[in-house]
Amino acid sequence: MPVQLYHDNLSPTARMVRIVAKHIGFSFEEKEIDLLSGAHMKPEFLTINPFHCVPTLVDDGFALWKRQGHSSTVEPPLKAYSRRILGEPYKTEMVRPVNFGPLVFFVNFRSDSVLPLPCTLSLDSTIRVKLLDDYQDIVIDWSAKESNEIRKSIIEQLSAFTRIPSEKVEFLTFLKPYNGNPENHFVSRHQPGDACLHYDRNSCRSMTQNMRDHFFTNGNCFMLNTMLLLTFDLDKTYVHYFLTHQDLIDETQCSRYFCLHACNRAFLDKQAGIVNSDFDSYLRAQPRRIRPNILYYEHFIDMERRKIEILADFNFAQYFDSYCCRSRHVSMREFDNLQNRIYSPCRDCFI
């Protein structure tokens, strides 16, 4: 039977034991005891711990419930579990709570004096990424030393969901409502009412602690918008994942951050098929002019015209550019009298 830890997230001593165990790689089966509901006073728990306190560690019939005892139990050298861990000192640890532990108390909590907030010191968080007809849970491990490790982990999990190779992902953006905290590090300059976390290629200016404390909350749900793009030189495809919190989206109509036509599994599979095809090989084989040192607006328009020609030839422009209100390409083309909708030379051919 595995080692069992009886705990409550409201207990700082229980969290300390979990943190120490995580640090040294010690695993156990967690059993949560809701102190506010009186679960620690039930007979089945009192038979384990007559002092009805948490944390309580149980292994092989031996129960240990003093915080300092737990810490010394799970710290190195970890020669064995429970009695196997403690060896002879377990007898001493049994005596200490009787002589000292019951004389030391935390403030008694009443249910009406404790806010029903989740524990913010969790070692990981789980967020949900959604399409209209599919979803994937993403686990964020806060033990990562750098925020780029978190970026890599999120993209790898997204790649398993989207079937788009992680090396094709250049940008990753999360958008959620601003919580009104003036110390929030993620207030968007472009959208002052929203909080934005942006990974630009392989870099992120945000610290892991700020992301954990001020942005991601366990259970957050984001709608996935996968933007398939071409580089300026038209030599390869790349992807920008834009994830918008569901509180900013009305799933019954299109908006700047959400498209009813594109936010589904069938559309995403088409995009993945293009990325995984030989289309990049075709792009690299095309002749192109040398990029000038200084780019002017007309250079962007020339490349946009060439892009229209390429996408029309392959008849999959609809998977690159959106024609609804969220598309930046529409306004650019209208300004320069370029066609908005890109049709294949063979109108009877569809993907």
In tens, the pLDDT along 117-130 reads 444 455 789 999 99
Q: Which two tokens stand for residue 304?
A: 């946009």
Percent of the chain at pLDDT > 90 equals 25
Indicate the residue type of 19: I
Q: What is the C-alpha separation between 21 and 76, in angstroms, rounded?
A: 10
Most confident of 11-20, 105-114, 177-186: 11-20
3-state class of 119 per DSSP? Answer: coil
Q: Which two tokens stand for residue 77?
A: 């050298």
Q: Is the pLDDT of residue 114 over 70?
A: no
In this structure, the number of other CB atoms found within 10 A of the CB of residue 213 comes to 17
Beta partners for 172?
Answer: 199, 241
The pLDDT assigned to 172 comes to 92
Where does the chain have alpha helices with state H? 12-24, 43-46, 67-74, 83-86, 89-99, 147-162, 208-214, 265-275, 279-285, 297-314, 328-335
The pLDDT assigned to 80 comes to 44
Q: Is the pLDDT of residue 245 over 90?
A: yes
The pLDDT assigned to 10 comes to 78
Q: What is the C-alpha separation between 75 and 234, in angstroms, rounded?
A: 57
CA-based nearest residue to 67, from 97, 91, 46, 90 = 97
Q: What is the C-alpha separation between 231 and 304, in angstroms, rounded?
A: 11
